Structure 1
Amino acid sequence: MAYQMDASLTEGPIGKKLVLFALPLLMGNVLQSLNGTINAIWVGSYLGESAFAATSNANNIMFFLLSLVFGIGMASTILIGQSVGAKDEVQAKRVVGTSALFFLALSLVITAIGLFFSPAILRGMNTPHDAMEFATAYLRIIFIGLPFMYGYNFIMMIMRGAGDARTPFYFLLISTFLDIVLNPLFIFGLGPVPALGISGSAVATVIAQFVSLACLIWFLYRKKHYLRITREDVPYLRFDKQIIASLVKKGIPMGLQMLIVSTSAIAVINLVNSYGSVATAAFGAAMQLSSYVQMPAMAIGGAVSTLAAQNVGAGKWDRVHKTTIMGIVINFCMTGVLVALIYLFNKQALGLFLKDPSAVAIGMRINLITLWAFILFGITFVVSGVVRATGAVMIPLLTTFLALWCIRIPLSYYLSSHYGLDAVWWSFPVGFTVAIVLSICYYVWGNWKQAKMLGSNQAQAAR
């Protein structure tokens, strides 16, 4: 049975739609974090603190690389969401064809650059000397798998814009299962498979991503998804000037926003690295746990963005505002529960990654100071998701820059020389507080509802 265009997110109870759409996103985030956590346990427990510190540095770089295409992916998602809301299948396929070429070209360029400059990038991050060899080997293999990772994320964002969050999740299950099974196989070796150490963890990840992407593409064509590019749709597989202009104009600020987030994370870990591998390992373990705390915010934020985009396309602004409120309430409840659970089992959770008592103690201190503030992060994520769904991207970019590079990073670097690592940890809640105040002010008093993704015929005026 062929997939047909469905704009059902513009009708029905908002709370139910939001939860049902967000659940696959949340479970997908859980799977990805669980996958990373299990891999981190293998590396940290059996290969030591230096290897774990290496993966922490390399993973921050991978987040940076995902940020490079996040903006284009989000712009594509919003354009498709608005097109589906307006029931314009032709425009949706124009977006798919143009953005697909972009993702392919960019991934190949970044892979080539990354393979050559991996050591220089890691040195620039002040990676601990004892972790450098591990990190270089790990990162180079990850770069080889970058086109597969970009390809999967592109298809995932396209399908979410069309209102389908379940199908990408099913194939994420395949990727996660393969990664978990293959990690110990390639790390320790078995039979004809050689023991590759930390490089084996990267090889397992690349294989899992490739298989998942191939299966997803096969499935979409087998089921005749309406956004697939068929022989008749080949004319859409080109650099459409109007679509490119929108992707660049709207996508670059959204990509820069993620770059600001990722580079600030690199700046923080660069500072933490100067305190040695124990501090780096503790910070890496704490960030593993905080990734779970952020998952509801990311899931609800992605859901509200898609719901808002479709309703903007349909001109239903009352549903856009209701989506914002419901998103904040759901996020507050879900994030609060996770924060409470980690506080209850703080030491035990960190003990999954760390064996050194001093590293565990530092990790517990990090969680004590930072975890509760991720509730504020969630509210900001939801509000920004709704605002971006209209095409208003500059103020969220400015808000993120002010909160991170004008508040968090200066506080971390300046105060850490006086108060040690505690200043780094306290910069998190301070930065989140600034971000939420600025985001809410713009939502209430800003002109984001007048923003447009393409021409006036593609965006409905606020009513």
Structure 2
Amino acid sequence: MAGPQRNLTEGPIGRTLMAFALPTLGSSILQSLNGSINAVWIGQFLGQRALAATTNANIIMFLLVAAVFGFGMAATILIGQAMGRRDIDAVRCTLGTAFGLFAIISVLTVILGWLVAPAILHLLATPAEVYPLALGYLRVIFVAMPAGFLTVLLTMALRGTGDSLTPLKFMAVGAVLDVALNPVLIRGFGPIPALGIEGSATATLIANTVSFAALLAYIYAKDLPIRLRGAELRYLVPDPALLRTIVVKGVPMGLQMLVVSVSAMAMIGLVNRHGTATTAAYGAANQLWTYVQMPAMAVGAAVSAMAAQNIGAGRWDRVDRITRAGLLMNLALTGGLLAVLTLLDRHVLWLFLGQDAAAIDIAARVNLIAGWSFILFGVSMVLTATVRANGAVVAPLVILAAALFPVRIGLATLLDPTWGSDAIWWSFPAGSMVSVLLTIGYYRAGTWRKLRVLPTAREEHLPADCEPTAKAMPIG
């Protein structure tokens, strides 16, 4: 196969998995650095009120991304399985339906977001002095979302075809442009007026648009499998059967992000009861955990793409080996990173907490107790990625909700009166252990291997022009 796509159904599993996971990890790091640097620009140039305004807007953005993330993941699974069968027509049909769905969602996001932004900010009890800044920033961000949504869909689709390097390249283009434009548009430069906080949002709008246009041009210039030409453009009209599958499989995956968000807000409420130093320490630990989670998430994405292609190709003999390779890779990457952070934790925490010795002591204890639970988190991520590659999405949602609410939040609340803040920190490994045990049980004994993401066209009465062909199709 020409181009940057990898055939994930052949060759050495460990080496292929590593080569696929590293660019995905690089994309995650770039995305986090982009957000962190932009927060520095806003804080330095516009002050705390502006930073608080972006915090309020980012909550809304996260919920919007969660809403569409699941649909993108469902499309990626379908694309991965079709790619494993070497059914390029099915790949393009799925991409067309998902692209049409995302385009509709994007238009609705701009229109509704612009109109209801004031009501959303009032619902969040945004402080009066922050409200006008948050409203101006949020409305521009809503305009920037369509290009962002469609770029995310294309990058996820590319990973489904076995290409994780192209998304990294265009993520870098968008991140560099966003970071470079932020100070220029916030403060003004030459003929460019100072736009304040709206300048930061405008930088994101420009970066998203340029990144999307450049990625789309590259896909067509390289004639990649997800491009649509001629009669294939009819695939942009969502096919009912494919759309139903994407929505049914996508909603539970989107809900997983919502469950995590609600759990995080509940945990912050418990932490805040223990004073400012504890809250600051927990915030600093969370900054480190953002990066600690990245290897497991990158490995999970790689395992999902590889497993989906092999399931589509009928290579079930490789699926368990892919999972084992992912588990070992997570242990090496996440375990190694945690070991380094444990040795250097006080030096790293100083970057966030300065000379506050009390907060640093608390944060170091938080990391010592809770940090190592991310190895267990990685195990759950890899196993979930495998079962999700065959369309099993409800069981992982139920397991996640059980681990976070009855176990993690429940233990922290129940033991807080006697254990103090330690109850919160110990609830992390407890929740992760329950998640791992339940996920292992489902992986070994669940019915996920018997599922089919999308039955054949004849069974579901798909239109002939969108029927998977089950044979090799030319890419060009």
Farther off after superposition, 16-25 or 203-212: 203-212
The one-letter amino acid paired with 1:16 is: R
Post-superposition CA distance 1:254-307 (Å, at most 9, x none): 222222223323443466577888876655443332111111011100000000
Match of 1:345, SS? helix
Tell me the equivalent position of 2:404. 404
Cα distance in 2, alignment partners of residues 361 and 46 from structure 1: 31
Deviations 1:184-214 (A, max 9, x none): 3233433334444544433322321221111
Partner residue in 1 for 2:385: 385
Contact 1:49 / 1:281 at 8 angstroms: preserved in 2? Answer: no
Structure 1 Cα separation of the partners of residues 454 and 363 of structure 2: 47
The aligned counterpart of 1:216 is 215
| Structure-to-structure mapping, 1:237-276, within 5 angstroms | 237-269=236-268
Q: Is the 8 A contact 1:271 1:413 kept in 2?
A: yes
Task: State yes or no: 1:29 paired with 2:53.
Answer: no
The answer for the alignment partner of 1:141 in structure 2 is 140
The one-letter code of the counterpart of 1:339 is: L
Distance 1:271 1:115, change over 3 A: farther
Q: How many residues align?
A: 459
Is the CA contact (8 Å cut-off) linking 1:412 and 1:424 kept in structure 2? yes
Aligned residue identity for 2:452: K
Superposed CA deviations along residues 410-462 of structure 1, whole A, max 9, x for unmatched, are: 4455655776655444433332222111111111111110011111588x9xx
CA distance in 2: counterparts of 1:222 and 1:362, whole angstroms:
53
Q: Assess if the C-alpha contact under 8 Å between 2:3 and 2:222 holds in 1.
A: no
Counterpart of 2:371, as a letter, is L
* Aligned-partner residue type, residue 66 of structure 2: S
Tell me the distance in 1 between the aligned counterparts of 2:2 and 2:370.
44
Percent sequence identity is 47
Q: Provide the residue aligned with 1:95 in structure 2.
A: 94
* Distance across 1 between alignment mates of 2:399 and 2:178: 36
Amino acid at match of 2:285: A
Q: Distance in 1 between matches of 2:40 and 2:351?
A: 6
Change (3 A) 1:62 1:287: farther
Q: Is 1:85 aligned to residue 98 of structure 2?
A: no
Query: SS in structure 1 opposite 2:190?
Result: coil
The Cα of 1:51 is off from its aligned counterpart by 4.9
Which residue of structure 2 aligns with residue 435 of structure 1? 435
Cα distance change, pair 255–406 in 1 and its aligned pair in 2 (3 A): same
Cα distance change, pair 6–24 in 1 and its aligned pair in 2 (3 A)? closer
* TM-score (ref. length: structure 1): 0.88
- The answer for the alignment partner of 1:71 in structure 2 is 70
In structure 1, what is the Cα distance between the partners aligned to 2:232 and 2:160? 19
Q: 1:145 to 1:402 in 2, by over 3 A?
A: same
Secondary structure at the residue paired with 1:9? coil
Q: Which residue of 2 aligns with 1:373?
A: 373
Q: Give 1:389 deviation, angstroms.
A: 0.4
Q: In structure 2, list runs of 5 or more residues that go unmatched.
A: 458-467, 471-476
Spell out, residue by residue over 1:32-81, the C-alpha distance to the aligned partner (whole angstroms, 9 max, x if none).
Answer: 12222222333455655565555445434333221111111111111111
- Indicate the larger mover: 204-213 or 72-81: 204-213
Partner Cα separation in structure 2 for residue 336 and residue 396 of structure 1: 24
1:247 is displaced (CA, Å) by 0.9
Distance 1:91 1:130, change over 3 A: same
Contact 2:307 2:319 in 1 (8 A): yes
Q: How does 1:12-51 map to 2 (within 5 A)?
A: 12-44=11-43, 51=50
Q: CA RMSD in A?
A: 3.1
Distance 1:35 1:280, change over 3 A: farther
Q: Do 1:44 and 1:354's aligned partners in 2 also have CA atoms closer than 8 Å?
A: no
CA gap of 1:5–1:261, structure 2 versus 1, over 3 A, is same
Distance between the aligned counterparts of 2:293 and 2:451, measured in 1? 28
SS in 1 for 2:86: coil
Residues 1:169 and 1:387: Cα distance change in structure 2 (over 3 Å): same
Which residue is equivalent to 1:229?
A: 228
